[in-house]
Structure 1
Amino acid sequence: MRIKFCGTASLADMECAVDAGCDAVGFIMGVTHKSSDFVTAAEAAKMIRHLPPFVEPVAVTHLQETQDLIGLVKESRCTTLQVQNTVEPTELEVIRDALPHVRIVKAVHVTDVSAVAAAKRYEPYADALLLDTRTHERLGGTGIPHDWNISARIVADSAIPVILAGGLTPENVGAAIRKVRPYGVDVHTGVKKDGVRNPDRTRAFVREARNVLSGSPGP
């Protein structure tokens, strides 16, 4: 089970995630909606210099203009781009041509069953989909789970990897994985304590997510 910790805003955040055994760290940049733990591309680039091998740096952004997205990835030096906002699927091809070494993850917000069609629309153009929760103010980082039944349907029908996000915590990630069967999971607010990424909760999240693979299948 691949694990990404999002909202990496400091070296301490990054070290906490790496020490817990994550596969990727997300840097929130280029925000247009309410968000927390966002950084500049330059700040992300400085932190990425200290990232050990085999841990993927992910640019997580609300930006929508193609050239802005390309510029953000170049400046931050991330190797994966996570597009949280609405863009035309064909624009992802433009980004791919400009940044052939970069993996593209497209967020699909699971507000209702329409997410199934949205996922299919982006599937031919992305390397992976990320199923997230949104509110009127936030495009992610809501701390609110969505309908995992819809997410499970998307995963079962997807030809590309699907990552589950939205309100995951150490307490519910095992049940979420058993229900949805995603390629990976992504967490931000669920491993915080008093507004800060907490080492104990971060380690617990990794432990619970990875134990699902060795435990007996749930319902």
Structure 2
Amino acid sequence: MRVKFCGTASLADLRCAVAAECDAVGFIMGVIHRSSDAVTPAEAARMIRQLPPFIEPVTVTHLQETQALIDLVRESHCTTLQVQNDVDPSDLEVIRQALPCVKIVKAVHVMDRSSIATARRYEPYADAILLDTRTEERIGGTGIPHDWNISAEIVANSTVPVILAGGLTPENVRDAIQKVRPYAVDVHTGVKKDGVRNLEKTLAFARAARDALK
């Protein structure tokens, strides 16, 4: 099971993720909704230089304007773009043409069964769909799980890989994976202690995720 740790805001955060043998690290930038652990593209780029090979750096952003999204990726030197906010599917095609070597992940917020149609709408334009939770203030990093039954239905019928996020913790990630069967899992607040990424929780999350389907 592939694992991404999001909200990487410091070298200490980065070292935790690397110690857990993560597959990807997310850097939150371009924030217009309430968020924790946001960094600038320059700060992300400095941390990315410390990444060992074979770990994917991901731009995670709330921005919606196409050129702003392209600029964030170029300035941060990430190799994947995760679009958290609402954009027209055709905008993702514009981004792909501008950044042909960058993978595009589109977040879909699982609020009710309408998210099934939303995910299907983005599938032709994204390399992967990420299923997350939102509130009035936050479009990610809520720490709140959503309905895994809906997520499982999206996974079962998707033509692209599906990443599960939203309220995952070391304690529930095994059950979530067994229920949803995603391509990967993504965690942010679930591996924090006192507001900071915690090594013990980070390692426990990675172990539980990778053991879930054994």
Q: TM-score range by the shorter chain?
A: over 0.9
Rounded Cα–Cα distance in structure 2 between residues aligned with 1:50 and 1:162: 28
Q: Secondary structure at the match of 2:131?
A: strand
Query: 2:132 aligned with 1:147, yes or no?
Result: no
Rounded Cα–Cα distance in structure 2 between residues aligned with 1:197 and 1:203: 11
Structure 1 position 168, deviation (Å): 0.0
Query: 2:138 aligned with 1:107, yes or no?
Result: no
Rounded Cα–Cα distance in structure 2 between residues aligned with 1:36 and 1:82: 16
8 A Cα contact 2:128 2:161, kept in partner? yes
Query: 2:52 aligned with 1:52, yes or no?
Result: yes
- Percent of aligned pairs with the same amino acid: 77
Rounded Cα–Cα distance in structure 2 between residues aligned with 1:22 and 1:90: 31
Matches within 5 A, 1:74-89: 74-89=74-89
TM-score, reference length from structure 1: 0.97
Q: In the alignment, what sits opposite 1:127? A: 127
Query: 2:187 aligned with 1:187, yes or no?
Result: yes
Q: In the alignment, what sits opposite 2:171? A: 171
Structure 1 position 12, deviation (Å): 0.6
Q: How many residue pairs get matched?
A: 214
Q: Secondary structure at the match of 1:213?
A: coil
Q: In the alignment, what sits opposite 2:162? A: 162
For structure 1, which runs of at least 5 residues remain unmatched after alignment?
215-219
Q: Secondary structure at the match of 1:105?
A: strand
Q: In the alignment, what sits opposite 1:23? A: 23
8 A Cα contact 2:163 2:185, kept in partner? yes
Give the aligned CA root-mean-square deviation in angstroms.
Answer: 0.4
Question: 1:141-177: per-residue Cα shift (whole Å, max 9, x none)?
Answer: 0000000000000000001000000000000000000
Structure 1 position 212, deviation (Å): 1.1
Q: In the alignment, what sits opposite 2:5? A: 5
Rounded Cα–Cα distance in structure 2 between residues aligned with 1:212 and 1:172: 10
One-letter amino acid of the counterpart of residue 172, structure 1: N
TM-score, reference length from structure 2: 1.00
Rounded Cα–Cα distance in structure 2 between residues aligned with 1:136 and 1:2: 29
Structure 1 position 213, deviation (Å): 2.3
8 A Cα contact 2:177 2:213, kept in partner? no
8 A Cα contact 2:178 2:213, kept in partner? no
Q: Secondary structure at the match of 1:151?
A: helix
Rounded Cα–Cα distance in structure 2 between residues aligned with 1:213 and 1:73: 33
One-letter amino acid of the counterpart of residue 170, structure 1: P
Question: 1:176-201: per-residue Cα shift (whole Å, max 9, x none)?
Answer: 00000000000000000011000000
One-letter amino acid of the counterpart of residue 8, structure 1: T
Structure 1 position 117, deviation (Å): 0.3
For structure 2, which runs of at least 5 residues remain unmatched after alignment?
none
Rounded Cα–Cα distance in structure 2 between residues aligned with 1:112 and 1:31: 25
Rounded Cα–Cα distance in structure 2 between residues aligned with 1:145 and 1:54: 29
One-letter amino acid of the counterpart of residue 101, structure 1: C
Query: 2:71 aligned with 1:68, yes or no?
Result: no
